[in-house]
Structure 1
Amino acid sequence: MHLNKRYPILAGLGITAVLTLSACGTDEAGSGASGGTSPTKSSMSENADAGQRGDVMFAQMMIPHHQQAVEMADQALQKDASPKVTELAEQIKAAQGPEIETMTKWLQEWKAPMTAEEGHGGHGGGGMMADGDMKDLSAASGAAFDEMWLTMMIEHHEGAVDMAGDVLKTTSNPEVKEMAQAIVDGQNKEIAIMKALL
């Protein structure tokens, strides 16, 4: 009250300053609010990117995984394995050969490399057999071969089912979903058959 009487201009300026600051505050809040939509858009974009990255990784890792399964199937067919193992080997080749071709086409369409970058879930996991395991399988014959082949293929299939299950959680691509689900369903059935044979 004392200041208002003695310095009316300052009092007026004070009010102006307060109003100006309030207006600035509103502007900042407004710009903050409009900027607040950015993180949502950004996270949506990141989720889409993550889905696409997941699709690429799935194809990059599943191709060599399938190729090894086909190689194991070829060994069974070359070694005159038991009729049940031979039937499974033919079934695996028939399913996984076309899937390799489809996934290779996807990577070409996506302009993605055929193999995953170093340190991004190397191909040693996911039920992949080591070179030593493949050599042991190649050296086996008769009932020992059948048992080793079934044991290794069960582990191999379980790895593929895990990878397919992972991509089903992230993908929005209907073709990827369809293949991943087919892998889960088909290979789970084969796992049950192979476990019964052991």
Structure 2
Amino acid sequence: MRAFINPSARKLALTGAVAAGALLLAACGGGSADDTSAMDHGGKPSVSTTASASASAGASASGSAGAFNDADVMFAQMMIPHHEQALQMAKLAGGRAEDAEIKKLVGEIEKAQDPEIRTMRTWLEAWGKPESAGHAGHGMAGMMSDQDMKELAAAKGKAFDRRFAELMIAHHEGAVEMARTEQKEGSDAAAKKVADDVVRTQAAEIAQLKRILTRL
């Protein structure tokens, strides 16, 4: 005798089996997704993680040598001869300057700019860059001409003081212009710090020289 199976019961059994199969597949699929995620975060680094790690390692390995850029190099190459000319102008004050404030300012210029020249030379040596790269006389704001220097050397007393003040104002304004370019475009922290010092000290000296001119 064949056993009678209720159609409703058969339908319920089939539905249960399908549901169980679906749950089993979902469980397997979920485990696979979790495994892939786990490999991205643990077993095998993701592409973005690997790239970030490589960039960090490169930055660390390069050290300070990788901190400079072309703007830093040009700043040092141009500021060295610019400072050197300021020192030449300051040396002319010996035996020529008469004003006490001019004489004091000359000493301050020598005290500040000579060490900065030595510092910038050490940067270029560390960076493997030449001290001169053909910038002299090109794009160097505030540089005096040979004629300017001859006229300054020929002056004495109050005439020297006035001419020195006029020329040094223009010279300092050129240095401040170059330093501000370094502040905006440079990368090396030490170079940007010197640029900050140049802007601060020479802007103050420009104001002082202008005051001196009003009473000479």
Q: TM-score, normalised by structure 1?
A: 0.71
Match of 1:94 in 2: 111
Alpha-carbon distance between aligned partners in 1 of 2:212 and 2:89, rounded to the nearest angstrom: 17
After superposition, where does 1:57-72 map in structure 2 within 5 Å? 57-72=74-89
Match of 1:157 in 2: 172
After superposition, where does 1:180-195 map in structure 2 within 5 Å? 180-195=195-210
Match of 1:105 in 2: 122
Alpha-carbon distance between aligned partners in 2 of 1:56 and 1:105, rounded to the nearest angstrom: 12
Match of 2:72 in 1: 55
Alpha-carbon distance between aligned partners in 2 of 1:123 and 1:138, rounded to the nearest angstrom: 24
Assess if the C-alpha contact under 8 Å between 2:186 and 2:192 holds in 1.
Answer: yes
| Corresponding letter in the other structure for 1:87 | K
Assess if the C-alpha contact under 8 Å between 2:97 and 2:158 holds in 1.
Answer: no
Assess if the C-alpha contact under 8 Å between 1:65 and 1:123 holds in 2.
Answer: no
Compared CA separation, residues 135 and 124, structure 1 to 2 (3 A)? farther
Alpha-carbon distance between aligned partners in 1 of 2:113 and 2:77, rounded to the nearest angstrom: 14
Assess if the C-alpha contact under 8 Å between 1:61 and 1:123 holds in 2.
Answer: no
| Corresponding letter in the other structure for 2:127 | W
Cα-to-partner distance string for 1:64-121 (whole Å, 9 max, x where unaligned): 000000111111133243111000000000000000000011111111011123xx57
Could you say what the CA RMSD is over the residues aligned between the two structures, in angstroms?
Answer: 2.1
Q: Which runs of 5 or more structure 1 residues have no equivalent in the other structure?
A: 1-40, 42-48
Cα-to-partner distance string for 1:12-57 (whole Å, 9 max, x where unaligned): xxxxxxxxxxxxxxxxxxxxxxxxxxxxx9xxxxxxx9x6111010
Shift of 1:125: 3.0
Alpha-carbon distance between aligned partners in 2 of 1:90 and 1:129, rounded to the nearest angstrom: 20
| Corresponding letter in the other structure for 2:174 | G
| Corresponding letter in the other structure for 1:66 | H
Match of 1:130 in 2: 145
Q: Which runs of 5 or more structure 2 residues have no equivalent in the other structure?
A: 1-54, 56-65
Alpha-carbon distance between aligned partners in 1 of 2:84 and 2:136, rounded to the nearest angstrom: 17
Say whether 1:143 aligns with 2:184: no
Assess if the C-alpha contact under 8 Å between 2:97 and 2:161 holds in 1.
Answer: no
Cα-to-partner distance string for 1:133-156 (whole Å, 9 max, x where unaligned): 000000011111110000000000
Shift of 1:62: 0.3
Match of 1:18 in 2: none
Match of 2:16 in 1: none
Shift of 1:164: 0.2
Percent sequence identity over aligned pairs: 47
Assess if the C-alpha contact under 8 Å between 2:78 and 2:140 holds in 1.
Answer: no
